[in-house]
Amino acid sequence: MTFEVIKPGLLTTIQDLGRPGYFHLGIPEGGAMDRASMRIANMLVGNPEDAAGLEAVFMGPELKFNHDALVAIGGAEMPVFVDGQEHDCWSSFPVKAGQTLKFGYLKTGARIYIAINGGIDTPPALGSRSTYPIGALGGFEGRALAAGDTVPVGKATAQAKERTLDRNLLAELQKPAQLRVLPGLYWHRLTEGSQKQFFADEWKVAPEADRMGYRFRGGSPMEFVEREQPFGAGSDPSNIVDGSYSYGSIQIPGGTEPIVLHRDAVSGGGYFTIGAIISADMDLIGQLQPNTPVRFTQVDMAQALDARRARAARLDKIRDALKG
Amino acid sequence: MKTRYSYGGDEHIFVEMDEEMSLDAFFKSLAMSNAARDADIDGVREICPANASFQVRYDPDVIAPEDMMAKLKELEKVAINAEKRLDTRIIEVPVFYQDPWTHDCVMRFRERHQDPSGTDLEYAARINGYPSVEAFIEAHHSAPWFVSMVGFVSGLPFLYQLAPRDKQLQVPKYLKPRTDTPKQTVGYGGCFTAIYSVRGAGGYQMFGITPMTIFDPDEKVSYLRDFMVFFKPGDVVKFKPVDRAEYDRILKAVEDGTYTPRIADVTFDLEDFNGDMEGTNAKLMEALNDV
């Protein structure tokens, strides 16, 4: 059971829920940027939530199926066609052997997730099929899909049947997008004025936004608390002795453009960080297009944990609605 | 040295031993991160040691952040008493300094550099007070180095020079990071040498290139069959300058599966080192003579 890549889109990679455990060697967890959407797409086709599917950014691929399959699309809103017949996102639908899956123009969001019953069955690397192109690890020969690739799919599961998600169960996107931040790490390096300004300013997603990190611009440059730079850190006030980075941490090289590290994060480096996006808001970043206005909102740990619980509860409701 | 604890979002705790780099800070960080691993705390997902700090990733659904924080703080007492001694290995890493490939890259990204009129090595030699590039290169490979962190990307080692602080080389990073660095470039930033395990973006000054593969996702290179990443924190490295012919020979041997890195078992004792740096270094490097 396979499908063939006719057109790969802009950047389409095989992803699952990632390979935790190797960040201490510089190999990031990776996996779907928008985890919830990947999970839901899998639920819609009756897969385990950690089955491997495709993540496509801004533009869908064109795929020709060599077997009868059940497919679902989650994440961004994009028209879906099977041999010209349109289907809805957030619903599973059959694709027959010989038929072609195609996409229209992106409407909202940034990344679609394509789940296929049985899951993509490329060989796992370090416990995951997620593609980490920098390390040529996982996915399809360690890289994004290209035209002509024939991708293996696993055996159909007994849970395969058509399902539709009630969209009221999904979180609503706010405008401007709100990203909640728990200040910490090297937050003390900023002056009180800059600390306030960071949250007061409206930022925009910069064009340099990918799986490794999302860059933002449009806010005020940072001012640093004066100090003599510590030995080994480097001469710029935004430099530190190279340390480990948290997923979601916000670094501001040179004090100008914040970068939020995401699933394919570098594991460490020499730039100061001002805290991290809370775990509940990481998925949302994967759906932000360049130029989207963004506000960073300050929260404390109790609020971060409340948000984490609310996200888990929402996913539980969806799980209940789609089970069976 | 004052330890600083901070949350990194709701899933990480970051512990900094010291703002500045030193082997004392490294050893304390290593002892604490080892103690955290040995404590086998429920909910800990991963421990990432760094140069003078480390980070714990945990699941706040399993252990409350304040409990995780309290447990880590308790471990500091254990770490203070840990012995600063490591059974480790010394590895000879061949380097082709001033090679054509990093030179080409140096010239391509000149406008991002502090001194666009020269090369990275000319700049590094000048600001460190060396009369020539050759003298600077000699300073770079004459003392051994200590792997104080593995990370950034796939198995990239950060190496700290085993030398008195006034002899340690220091260079700033590029003004603006490059979008490209050749695979296996030997680079320099702050007080650290880095070996770029894969091709990609980078901000360190470029001095040369090693023919020795240090990351192999396919695990086909003869000495990386057990695991794709070569270096680990605590490894000691001796750089050996090689010319083009030797570089080509080693590169081919790595490809053919006939290259075996020169490695010897050694013990590194921080107190011995602080007491007699030259003597300790000489002993470390002598171990390679028997290989």
Same domain, B114 and B215: yes
Question: Residue B286's domain is classified under what CATH number?
Answer: 2.40.100.10
Same domain, B36 and B18: yes
Cα B109 from Cα A99, distance rounded (Å)? 48
Give the range among A85-89, A173-177, B244-248 with minimum mean pLDDT. Answer: A173-177
Q: Say whether residue B182 is in contact with chain A using an 8 A CB cutoff.
A: no
What is the rounded average pLDDT of the residues B56-73?
Answer: 98
Q: How far is CA A207 from CA A106, A258, B220, in A?
A: 17, 13, 37
Which residues on chain B are in Cβ contact (under 8 Å) with A207? none
Q: Which residue's structure tokens are 């980490």?
A: A132
Same domain, B126 and B259: yes
**Which of B 223-262 lie inside 8 A of A, CB atoms?**
229
**Which of A 148-187 lie inside 8 A of B, CB atoms?**
182, 184-185, 187
Q: Say whether residue A239 is in contact with chain B using an 8 A CB cutoff.
A: yes
Identify which of A26, A136, A270 has the shortest CB distance to residue B155: A26
Which residues on chain A are in Cβ contact (under 8 Å) with B61? 308, 312
pLDDT of residue A324 exceeding 80, the answer is no
Task: Report pLDDT for A167.
Answer: 94
Length of chain A: 324
Cα B247 from Cα A42, distance rounded (Å)? 49
Q: Say whether residue B191 is in contact with chain A using an 8 A CB cutoff.
A: yes
The side-by-side arrangement of strands in the sheet containing A92-95 is: A12-15, A53-57, A108-116, A69-77, A92-95
pLDDT digits (tens, 9 = 90+) for B219-232: 999 999 999 999 99
pLDDT class for A102, splitting at 50, 70, 90? Answer: very high
Identify which of B45, B53, B217 has the shortest CB distance to residue A135: B217
Identify which of B16, B45, B160 has the shortest CB distance to residue A20: B45
**Which of B 88-147 lie inside 8 A of A, CB atoms?**
none
Q: Round the average pLDDT of chain B to a whole number and report it.
A: 96
| Strand A53-57 versus strand A12-15 pairing type | antiparallel
Cα A52 from Cα A304, distance rounded (Å)? 29
Same domain, B155 and B223: yes
Residue A222 burial (C-beta neighbours within 10 Å; 0-12, 13-18, 19+) = buried
Structure tokens at A210: 């990918």
Beta-carbon separation of A246 and B153 below 8 A? no
Secondary structure letter of residue A160 according to DSSP: -
pLDDT digits (tens, 9 = 90+) for A147-182: 999 999 999 988 889 999 999 999 887 889 999 999
Cα B54 from Cα B6, distance rounded (Å)? 11
Same domain, B14 and B98: no
Domain of residue B92: give its range: 87-290
**CA closest to B192 among chain A residues:** A232
Beta-carbon separation of A27 and B190 below 8 A? no
Beta-carbon separation of A241 and B217 below 8 A? no
Task: Report pLDDT for B188.
Answer: 96
Contact criterion met (CB below 8 Å) for B147 and B234 = yes
Same domain, B168 and B237: yes
Backbone angles phi, psi at A206, to 5 degrees: -85, 165
Which residues on chain B are in Cβ contact (under 8 Å) with A142? 217
Task: Report pLDDT for B77.
Answer: 87
Same domain, B18 and B64: yes
Which residues on chain A are in Cβ contact (under 8 Å) with B16? 243
Q: What is the 3-state secondary structure (H, E, C) of chain B?
A: CCCEEEEECCCEEEEECCCCCCHHHHHHHHHHHHHHHHHCCCCEEEEEECCCEEEEEECCCCCCHHHHHHHHHHHHHHHHHCCCEEEEEEEEEEEEECCHHHHHHHHHCHHHCCCCCCCHHHHHHHHCCCCCHHHHHHHHHHCCEEEEEECCCCCCEEEEECCCHHHCCCECCCCCCECCCCCCEEEEEECEEEECCCCCCECCEEEEECCCCCECCCCCCHHHCCCCECCCCCCEEEEEECCHHHHHHHHHHHHHCCCCCCEEEEEEEHHHHHHCHHHHHHHHHHHHHHC
Question: Residue B63's domain is classified under what CATH number?
Answer: 3.30.1360.40
Distance from CA of A145 to the nearest CA of B (A): 18
pLDDT digits (tens, 9 = 90+) for A252-285: 998 999 999 999 999 999 999 999 999 999 999 9
Count the domains in chain B: 2
Inter-chain CB pairs, A–B, below 8 Å: 182
Distance from CA of B8 to the nearest CA of A (A): 6
**Which of A 254-293 lie inside 8 A of B, CB atoms?**
266-270, 273, 275-279
Contact criterion met (CB below 8 Å) for A182 and A247 = no
ipTM above 0.90, yes or no: yes
pLDDT of residue B214 exceeding 90, the answer is yes
Task: Report pLDDT for B249.
Answer: 98
- Domain end call among B52, B67, B82: B82
pLDDT digits (tens, 9 = 90+) for A2-38: 999 999 999 999 999 999 999 999 999 999 999 999 9
Q: Say whether residue A147 is in contact with chain B using an 8 A CB cutoff.
A: no
- Domain end call among B39, B54, B82: B82
% of chain A at pLDDT higher than 90: 94
Beta-carbon separation of A268 and B192 below 8 A? no
Secondary structure letter of residue A201 according to DSSP: S
pLDDT of residue B180 exceeding 80, the answer is yes
Task: Report pLDDT for B288.
Answer: 96
Distance from CA of B190 to the nearest CA of A (A): 5
Q: How far is CA B163 from CA A240, A276, B128, in A?
A: 21, 36, 14
| Strand A203-209 versus strand A213-217 pairing type | antiparallel
pTM beyond 0.90 = yes
CATH number of this structure's domain A177-312, picked from the four choices 2.40.160.60, 2.40.100.10, 3.30.70.260, 1.20.120.450? 2.40.100.10
pLDDT class for A210, splitting at 50, 70, 90? Answer: very high
Identify which of A235, A244, A301 has the shortest CB distance to residue B53: A244
- How wide is the angle at C-alpha B200 spanned by C-alphas B195 and B206, nearest 5°? 45
Task: Report pLDDT for A171.
Answer: 85
Q: Round the average pLDDT of chain A to a whole number and report it.
A: 96
Which candidate, A250, A258, A251, places its Cα nearest to that of A206? A258
| Strand B53-58 versus strand B145-150 pairing type | unpaired
Cis peptide before A176 (omega within 30 of 0): yes
Task: Report pLDDT for B1.
Answer: 84
Residues of chain A with CATH 2.40.100.10: 177-312
Is the dihedral angle over the CA atoms B181, B183, B186, B191 positive or is it negative? positive
- Among B37, B115, B154, pick the best mutation site for testing chain A contact (most A Cβ within 10 A): B154
End-to-end CA, chain B: 39
Backbone angles phi, psi at A320, to 5 degrees: -60, -45
- Domain end call among B55, B82, B109: B82
Which residues on chain B are in Cβ contact (under 8 Å) with A253? 177
pLDDT of residue B80 exceeding 90, the answer is no
pLDDT class for A289, splitting at 50, 70, 90? Answer: very high
Q: Where are the beta strands (DSSP E) in A9-152?
A: 12-15, 53-57, 62-65, 69-77, 80-82, 85-87, 92-95, 100-103, 108-116, 150-152
Task: Report pLDDT for B78.
Answer: 83
pLDDT of residue B22 exceeding 90, the answer is yes
Distance from CA of A68 to the nearest CA of B (A): 33
- How wide is the angle at C-alpha A260 spanned by C-alphas B2 and A256, nearest 5°? 80
Same domain, B31 and B92: no
Structure tokens at A267: 């594991």
Q: Say whether residue A312 is in contact with chain B using an 8 A CB cutoff.
A: yes
% of chain B at pLDDT higher than 70: 100
What is the rounded average pLDDT of the residues B49-74?
Answer: 97
- How wide is the angle at C-alpha A167 spanned by C-alphas A161 and A169, nearest 5°? 100
Contact criterion met (CB below 8 Å) for B56 and B13 = yes
Cα B138 from Cα B96, distance rounded (Å)? 12
Q: For residues A284, A288, A292 and A298, what is the CA-based torsion angle, rounded to 10 degrees?
A: 30
- Among B1, B2, B3, B14, pick the best mutation site for testing chain A contact (most A Cβ within 10 A): B14
Which residues on chain B are in Cβ contact (under 8 Å) with A277? 9
The three-state secondary structure class of A319 is helix
Same domain, B285 and B159: yes
Identify which of A248, A253, A301 has the shortest CB distance to residue B65: A301
Identify which of A23, A132, A305 has the shortest CB distance to residue B10: A305
Beta-carbon separation of B20 and A231 below 8 A? yes
Task: Report pLDDT for B49.
Answer: 95
What is the rounded average pLDDT of the residues A222-238?
Answer: 92
Same domain, B50 and B150: no
pLDDT digits (tens, 9 = 90+) for B102-156: 999 999 999 999 899 999 999 999 999 999 999 999 999 999 999 999 999 999 9
Task: Report pLDDT for A159.
Answer: 86
**Which of B 4-33 lie inside 8 A of A, CB atoms?**
6-12, 14, 16, 18-22
**Which of A 189-208 lie inside 8 A of B, CB atoms?**
none
